[in-house]
Copies of this chain bind each other. A is one copy, B any other.
Amino acid sequence: MMHNSADSAFRQTLLDHLPDDVLRDAEPRYSEEPRGRWQGAIGLVAAPRSTDQVAQLVALAADARVPVVPYGGGTGLVGGQIMPEGPAPLVISLERMNSIRAIYPEENVLICDAGAILAQVQQAAAAAGRLFPLSLAAQGTARIGGNLATNAGGTGVLRYGNARDLCLGLEAVLPDGQIWHGLKRLRKDNTGYDLRHLLIGSEGTLGIITAASLKLSPQPAHMGTALFVVPSPQAALSLLALARARLGEMVSAFELISGQGLAFLSETLPDVRQPFDVAPAWSVLIDVGLVQGLDPQDALEELFASALSEGLVEDGIVAQSHQQAADFWAVRERIPEANKRIGSISSHDVSLPLGALPAFIDRGRALVEGLGDFRINCFGHVGDGNLHYNVFPAQGGRVSNHQNQRAEVQRRVHDLVHDMGGSVSAEHGIGRLKVDDLERYSDPAKLAAMRAIKTALDPFGIMNPGAVLNTAQMAVKQT
């Protein structure tokens, strides 16, 4: 693949066609990512003010065979937003395209620029008496275009779905600089191939999302939160089934917390209020969002009583106030920070068939213990079958002493996930971190189809090269 750097000549080409201020300084933030794993190369940074400007930038990059890296909030965890190798790219940041374009409360629809920050979208929906349910740790920084490009997950998926399930339509610039005007506000539209779902989750390798039509929901009348101690992950799943049998779609979140996670919090973030005197091995955080006529505390207490009679819970606290609910959520949400302070050897964003989760947790523990003296913090969106599965040195141990084991731990955990019918990237995507995993674990026919689609839509391979697919190995049009 022959690409050219976004050099001073290309800079001049851009300035011949676009206002000077479309270019920004290449600040360090554009070349860093949250894990500190890679340092990106940058040729130029453009921050367009309109979809037309994005289209011009992409068309000029295509003409010049300059790689393009789309940039949202920069919060991705798999390196999809930075390009460490090859000719220095044109980074196109959507930061100036951050308007809420329109909101239709009676339709439960909101249309915004791709650069709108997730929290801003949530707030605009709330101001209109509606809910935009995508909810994740980075929501104060992440931009909706990046959320869609990576099909973000988070804590609202159980009830409301992934980012792709919340999107009714897209506007996007395709790799040849054409604008696809697809901002439909329709619940049903069977007119041809679903380009929307193809772009969502393609991580900037098939185009740049410039705006989205998003699905809102009614706000639940009453919210309730509880922490229940469960005897096992299997009991957690049975509790989930019981909760859904009793409350249907009104179960909004169902998160697993491990005793190891609580211990890490206690060790590294003592300001976080521990909910139990003795940290239980397994607990679940449950949110319910109920309709009028149902009382959340009653509902959660009845759920607890019913679960207790079936041996599915051992202890529990139903939040009696917003503050207590917020405290419970702080426990869950600060676990990643505690993990970071402890320092993991390897971390995994995996999903399993729900029925296979308990066996995976057992087999994973046996596997990891067989590899050395490690601690495991396994937690997360258990209602979606999605675990964040992180491996740490033993108490007092140092990550630096296990560098040579990192690759083996990762490989063995991923092999186990794959063997059990799971996914090695549940919600974070492939980015640059998991390109080899994708090649190893993907179905060959799917991988071949992906390559054919990439080549068809991006014949010069300029869109986010090196992310998702190993384009260096692909036949790419040279002329």
Name which of A150, A181, A185, A202 has the most chain B CB atoms within 10 A of its CB: A185
Contact B218 A180 (CB under 8 A): no
- A423: B residues at CB distance < 8 A: 184, 186, 188-191
Chain B residues lying within 8 Å of A178, measured Cβ to Cβ, are: 444-445, 448
Contact with B along A440-456 (1 / 0, CB 8 A): 01111111111011111
How far is B468's CA from A182's CA once the two chains are assembled, in angstroms?
Answer: 18
User: In the complex, what's the smallest C-beta–C-beta distance from A323 to chain B, in angstroms?
Assistant: 26
Chain A positions 372 through 394: 1 when the CB is less than 8 Å from some CB of chain B, otherwise 0: 00000000010011100000000
Query: Which of the residues B182, B293, B434 comes within 8 Å of A294, measured between beta carbons?
Result: B293
Contact assessment for A430 and B194 in the assembled complex, using a CB-CB cutoff below 8 Å: no
In the complex, the answer to whether B193 meets A198 with C-beta atoms within 8 Å is yes
Q: A291-B248, A445-B181 are in contact. Are A427 and B355 (CB under 8 A)?
A: no
A104 touches B (CB below 8 Å): yes
- Docked-complex contact B446 and A180, CB < 8 angstroms: yes
Indicate if A292 sits at the interface (CB-CB under 8 A): yes
Is the pair B456, A182 in contact by a Cβ cutoff of 8 Å?
no
What's the nearest-Cβ distance from chain B to residue A66, in Å?
A: 21
Considering only residues 228-282 of chain A, those with a C-beta below 8 Å from chain B are 237-238, 241, 244-250
A201 at the interface (CB under 8 A from B): yes
User: Distance (Å) between the CB of A29 and the closest chain B CB?
Assistant: 24
CB neighbours (8 Å) of A293 from chain B are 294
Say yes or no: A150-B190 contact (C-beta < 8 A), given A180-B445, A293-B294.
Answer: yes
Q: Report which residue of A198, A428, A442 has the largest number of chain B beta carbons within 10 angstroms of its beta carbon.
A: A198
Contacts of A153 in B (CB 8 A): 188, 190
Q: A130 to B208, alpha carbons, bound, how many Å? A: 40
Q: Enumerate chain B residues within 8 angstroms of A416, measured Cβ to Cβ.
A: none
A304-B210 Cα distance, complex, nearest whole Å: 43
- Residues on B with beta carbons closer than 8 Å to the beta carbon of A283: none
Chain A interface category by residue count: 35 or more
Flag the segment in A120-128, A157-165, A327-335 that touches B: A157-165
A443 to B202, CA, bound (A): 20
Measured CB to CB, the nearest residue on chain B to A441 is B191
Q: Which residues of B contact A427 (CB under 8 A)?
A: 188, 190
CA distance A347 to B289 in the complex (A): 41
| Copies of this polypeptide in the complex | 2
Does any Cβ of B come within 8 Å of A351's Cβ?
A: yes
Q: How far is the CB of A162 from chain B (nearest CB, A)?
A: 7
Whether A429 is near chain B, meaning CB under 8 Å from some CB there, is: yes
Interface pair B174/A445, CB less than 8 Å apart: yes
| B195:A351 contact, CB within 8 angstroms | no
CB pair A468–B192 under 8 Å, yes or no, is: yes
A353 touches B188 (CB 8 A): no
- Report A392-439 residues with CB < 8 Å from chain B CB: 421-430, 434, 437-438
A186 touches B352 (CB 8 A): yes
A463 within 8 A of B: no
Q: A192-B430, A201-B193, A220-B248 known; A351 and B182 CB under 8 Å?
A: no
Q: Is A179 interfacial (CB 8 A cutoff)?
A: yes
Q: Is the CB of A452 within 8 A of B457?
A: yes
A433 CB to nearest chain B CB (Å) = 12
A contact set with B: CB distance below 8 Å: 104, 106-109, 150-151, 153, 157, 162, 164-165, 174, 178-182, 184-195, 197-198, 200-202, 206, 218, 220, 237-238, 241, 244-250, 289, 291-294, 351-355, 381, 384-386, 421-430, 434, 437-438, 441-450, 452-457, 468-469
Would you mind naming 27 contact pairs between A and B with Cβ atoms under 8 Å apart?
A104-B353, A107-B355, A157-B188, A181-B445, A182-B446, A185-B421, A186-B351, A187-B351, A188-B386, A188-B427, A189-B425, A189-B426, A190-B201, A190-B428, A190-B429, A190-B430, A191-B424, A191-B437, A192-B201, A192-B446, A192-B447, A193-B198, A193-B206, A193-B450, A194-B200, A452-B456, A456-B456
